[in-house]
Amino acid sequence: MSKYQAKDIQVLEGLEPVRRRPGMYIGSTDINGLHHLITEIIDNSVDEALAGYANNVWIFIHNDGFITVIDNGRGIPIERHPTVKKSALEVAMTYLHAGGKFGDGSYKVSGGLHGVGASAVNALSEKMRVEVKRGGLYSQDYKIGKPTTDVVQPPKSDLAEKPREIWDKLNSGTATYFLPDKKIFSTISPDYKQLEKQIRERSYLVAGLFFHVYDERSQIEKNFYFDGGIKSLVEDLNRNKQGLHFPIFIKKDMQNVGVEVALQYNDSYTETVESFANVINTIEGGTHLTGFRMALTRAINDYAKKIGAVKSTEDNLTGEDVREGLTAVVAIKMNSEKLEFEGQTKAKLGNAEIQPLVLTVVKEGLETFFEENPSDARRIIEKTLIAAQARLAAKAAKEAVIRKGALEGLTLPGKLADCQEKDPSLSEIYIVEGDSAGGSAKQGRDRKFQAILPLGGKILNTERARLDKIIQFEEIKDLIIALGAGISDTFNLEKIRYHRIILMTDADVDGEHIRTLLLTFFFRYMIQVIEKGYLYIAQPPLYKINKGKEVFYAYTDLEKESLLKEGAAVKPSDKVSGDVEASASKKRSYSIQRYKGLGEMNPEQLWETTMNPKNRILKKVAIEDAAVADEIFNMLMGEEVPPRKKFIQTHARYATLDV
């Protein structure tokens, strides 16, 4: 056992600021903040594994809102702290910035909130109990961050039954049992899938660490362990794609920084890169990611010149070329004290010294791989050269589109019915399926701020096409010009002409398909529109219900049933256009029209139900998890048939068919 003692716990300040401004410490008080709370405790256990003293972590989600996290590490020190004159356990749990991650203490590599993790969780928990096995059993209870007992040696554990069965078998470790405060959080019920992803990430990043997850609410029990580390993560990210070679793995320690990189090219046209610093997912990248990208571009250009694939500097491959079809994971581990992040929630690594370190390690590693694996190197070079050719073709196509528009005097497509408003923040555009619905929308809209762009049927599947082909497709070309912000690498959100881009398609299978094709296009080539919150889906009504002279609209089957319970009857003779349901009642008669297409509504109905801001329902499109979204689009819209077939077979029984 290493020198992890009470004196290693350093104290900086108290806990009150955490409850006053929880967002400053955990990012938010919604479900994301709740997950941050849970992973802070998990990361304390991960830190023990990184230090080499734990190889198992157990996580329990209980029915009553409590969370239990257990590890088989050394256990938090319980001796009297030399400065504060209290147990080191109490100090670690009740003082902000108190922990073994400061100074020359026990942890050199760690995640968590720079030591505020456990105490921040305590401050934001209605109840909390920590039990420690360290030459005996010790425990302390807390309420809203304050101790309600001394650190005592109980005769037995007070954990819930299942965690206690595991805990009783361990000789050392820490068990934390807490209930997030309902007064702080909008929900205290974790989303299992989101939490599982966070745990799975950590199991990739700390090879040899077992995670055991139990969700009592749904009786889910899962275990995670990956010997291959981030190499296994790359294989997982690429599981629905065709890899061009076996994953490349590079690992080296330099200047007390551990650098690990795994990468693999596939047959797709998109880039998937994840980056981590001390098991923290740096979703906005940072200096480690910049160093990796610079190294990749330089190493590939150097090798391409060496084998004669690139003749001169003018023909150099760009960063865009070498990242097409790339899946990679970049992870660094360093002294936790020296980590610098932009923002408290650590979305972006800021250490300037990391960029040249990663650049050097990755460039040397790739050069060695290319020399030792010339056939794989050539496949990679061929992939990047094709990407470069497509980039040049796309550039020429874009220039041709611009020139053509200027020559014809059509800076905007002819099918677009633009709005009068010129302020993008006050303007919106409806992208409408079909000319018939487009005509109704044009007549029914408020032309002051609503623009209409009809689409003549299904657009190109942009998941399976290169940019040069996409730009030449008439419907997509019209959409790009109408939005006015460019596409892909030339996209400029500041030039966007509308801050509400609304997809309005029929409520049938074809309409769903067209909407999916449009979502694929925006995700792959205008993702900033989604990230900024500019993309919406219109919700036209499913039913029109006539009760005598009164007309009602139902947007869901539940709404329809609610209206029907108020009493009425359908007579077959009352049938109007569309599908009509029939039933009987003694009170009065009504007719139900099931809308299958937007064209079945006249302009007034379309305005009143789907376009009038006072009445309409819009769904905002958001990306909760970019990696999952990438996987889904690739599976549903990509070239590989088996994953799509498996998905359909698995989920077919949940489908609601409207036939």
d(C-alpha 218, C-alpha 190), whole Å? 12
- Residue 405's alpha-carbon distances to 251, 408, 451, 460, in angstroms, are 51, 5, 19, 21
CA dihedral 455, 456, 459, 460 (to 10 degrees): -140
- Nearest residue to 45 via CA among 172, 171, 153, 146: 172
3-state secondary structure of 379: helix
Q: What token pair was written down for 15? A: 């806990």
Query: 214: which strand partners?
Result: 60, 221
- Nearest residue to 177 via CA among 59, 263, 90: 59
Question: Which residues are CB-neighbours of 264 under 8 A, at least 6 positions away?
Answer: 234, 235, 238, 243, 244, 245, 246, 247, 248, 326, 327, 328
Is the dihedral angle over the CA atoms 507, 509, 512, 514 positive or is it negative?
negative
- Residue 285's alpha-carbon distances to 69, 112, 273, 274, 362, in angstroms, are 29, 18, 9, 8, 16
Q: 């349901």: which residue's tokens? A: 581
How many C-beta atoms surround the C-beta of residue 307 within 10 A?
12
Contact 302, 368 (CB under 8 A): no
Residues assigned a catalytic role: 433, 506, 508, 510
Contact 97, 73 (CB under 8 A): no
Note the residue count of the chain: 659
d(C-alpha 112, C-alpha 117), whole Å? 6
Question: Which residues are CB-neighbours of 321 under 8 A, at least 6 positions away?
Answer: 384, 385, 387, 388, 391
Return the H-helix or E-strand segment holding 252.
strand 248-254
State CA 152 to chain mean position distance. 43
